Amino acid sequence: MIAGAALLGAAVLTVLPDTDEHPGAVTLVGTEARAAETAGARTPFTTIEAESGTLGAGAELRSVKPGDPAPTKATPETEASGYAYAELAHTGDSVTVTNQTGKPANTLVVRASIPDAPQGGGIDASLNLYVDGAYRQAITISSKQAWNYRHATTNADDPNAGGAAYRFYNEFPVWVEGAPIPDGSTLTFKKDATNTAAYYDVDSVDLENVGAARTRPEGSLSVVDHGADPAFGKDSTAAIQNTVDIAREEHKTVWIPKGKYLTNSIDGAPPLDLTGVTVRGAGMWYTTIYRRPPLPAKQRSQILVGSRTQLSDIQIDANAVYRDVRGPGGSDYGINASGAEGWLVERIWTRHTDANWLSGTGGTIRDSRTADSYGDGFNINNSNTPSPDKRGDNITVENNFARNTGDDSFAVYSDSGTNGDNGQLSGARVLNNTAVAPWWANGLRIAGGKDIQFKNNLVKSVSSNSTLEVGVFGDSGHPLESATVSGNVLLGGGGWNGVRHGVQIGSPSPTSNFPDAFTNVVMTDNVMRGALRAGLLITKKNVNVTLRNNTIDGPAQQGIWVTSGVTGTGTFSGNEVQNLLPGQTELQNDSSGTFKITE
């Protein structure tokens, strides 16, 4: 038990099987002092990790775990969900998993990595799928939107410019050919002679039984009737925007039927602006808006969501190859939401975009997913500018799934701006979301604000930084006046970046605009498990933290580490540190003279 903590008794931490009621969730069973809780998003799919399967021929399991030498660079292991994957490097190698979802699966999302091209730009290669031992279909795996190189001297896509490789994986949505894969059937991913990549690193597969496409809302205006092309043959930007503009005037809904719509392929075309209109698609597996600006991009390809906008049931994909908004890499926001009168986004799927950028007042995004992004997954913010439409107040991000994000998976940040005239963000709610394997930054981040709540989220397998970072946004960030972090399950963290740990609390102080500000956070009933470094780090200065009834399980280093130079207070009670490695301590306070811990 840590110093100053009340005895809880022997804690029990159990990961239960996936269920129809909450597929993909982790359920925690504690003592009498902690009721059973569930964390993470309810998703229509179930994820099966490749490391849980059966390896065939010469296939090998690659992994990293607490107690291994701390990673010093990004690797396929650090970026894999569960920090483990199956490597298929020789003809005949395979990995087999079983559909145990209780349902047939008519779609898959395969997360995998293959090599980059020698000069960059990626390659395509097939990987064969067998169902119950019988060949079913070839799945195309690509590295054309993977393999970036940090600090490359030319561009982030150049493997020969001295940069360090990261962003190894991509996700590949697949409609199952033939009959859906029955519950209880096996799926084998096999490198046959026709599968020509040097290796296939198979990380996971999502199984889902996708229902029929949604039908056209009564009285709606169809973008196809106004010239949009669902066959991806011509640019549909103007046709979609014209439909939205007419619907705004006539107070009608816009309908985007099943199809793939090319947008922003014309140099100089503005982004789509959906402000004030309800826009519906046929479903994220059926309706895709695909952004293909000429690279290097010169125009914005984000989708604008403003006051009184409702957007649902679409997928947004893009041709971006690295993070560089309106630049050579082609990256841009998925949606950019603002407005003083609220907005609602639900059941969207953004892929290969930058952040979903969320400001305004009273907005909600829910039941959505993002994958393979070049920036944050979902970012609540006050948009770096003093504007009544971009305050970032009372925004809710709930029941969303983020995997392989290129910055924080779920973030709140409140920036005062260079002149200190941007107002404090307040009332952010980040609830019941799942963050898996961000390839850069953190799973969850709180960077300033007031009345912030992060509750019942699940984070696993952060590659570079922490599962959760709590503090402020740089030198111009507003202080964190108040935040509650409760019921979250935080697995792993403390990766190759070397300066982060499982969970990290602390902010630079003094800041340029708020020299005396503190970071104030209450953390209750969270589980922090399997950190690759310390379980919880408190660092820098001016921190007031309450830790109550948290479990820190199996970190590679200290349970809780307060570094030297920290000022402030810690109120610790009812916390459990367990399964420490030999030689590690439950609590190490290197600031005992300036950071007082009380019960």
Quickly state the pLDDT bin for 70 (edges 50, 70, 90). Answer: confident
CATH number reported for the structural domain that contains residue 196 in this entry: 2.60.120.260
Looking at 208, 241, 270, the residue that finishes a domain is: 208
User: Do residue 274 and residue 312 come from a single domain?
Assistant: yes
Query: How high does pLDDT run on average in the chain?
Result: 92
309 assigned to some structural domain? yes
Tokens of 399: 């029941």
Three-state SS letters, 104-157: CECEEEEEEECCCCCCCCCCEEEEEEEECCEEEEEEEEECCCCCEEECCCCCCC
* Structural domains in the chain (count): 3
Residues 513 and 569 in one domain: yes
Smallest CA-to-CA distance from 77 within 47, 108, 50 is with 50
Q: Do 63 and 172 fall into the same domain?
A: yes
> Across-strand partners of 350?
316, 370
Note whether residue 424 is domain-resident. Answer: no
- pTM of the entire structure? 0.94
Task: Tell me: do 383 and 489 sit in the same domain.
Answer: no
Residue range of the domain that includes 112: 46-208
pLDDT tens column, 292-307: 998 888 889 999 999 9
Same domain, yes or no: 109 and 194:
yes
Same domain, 216 and 74: no
Looking at the chain, the whole-number percentage of residues with pLDDT higher than 70 is 93
Residue type at 88? Answer: L
**Where are any strands of DSSP class E within 414-488?**
429-431, 434-436, 444-447, 452-455, 458-460, 468-471, 483-486
Burial (0-12, 13-18, 19+ Cβ within 10 Å), 593: exposed
Q: Do 241 and 196 belong together in one domain?
A: no
461, 499 contact by CB (below 8 A): no
Report the DSSP beta bridge partners of residue 68.
66
Q: Mind listing the pLDDT tens digit for each residue in 103-120?
A: 999 999 999 999 999 999
Does 328 fall in a domain?
A: yes
Residue 88, pLDDT above cutoff 70? yes
**pLDDT class of 510 with cuts at 50, 70, 90:** low
490 and 556 in a single domain? The answer is yes
Question: Does 218 lie in the same domain as 108?
Answer: no
Amino acid in the structure at residue 215: T
Q: Give tens-digit pLDDT for 3-28.
A: 333 222 222 222 333 333 333 334 34
Q: Are residues 132 and 281 in the same domain?
A: no
pLDDT of 356 > 70? The answer is yes
Residue at 423 is within a domain: no
Give yes or no: residues 197 and 275 share one domain: no
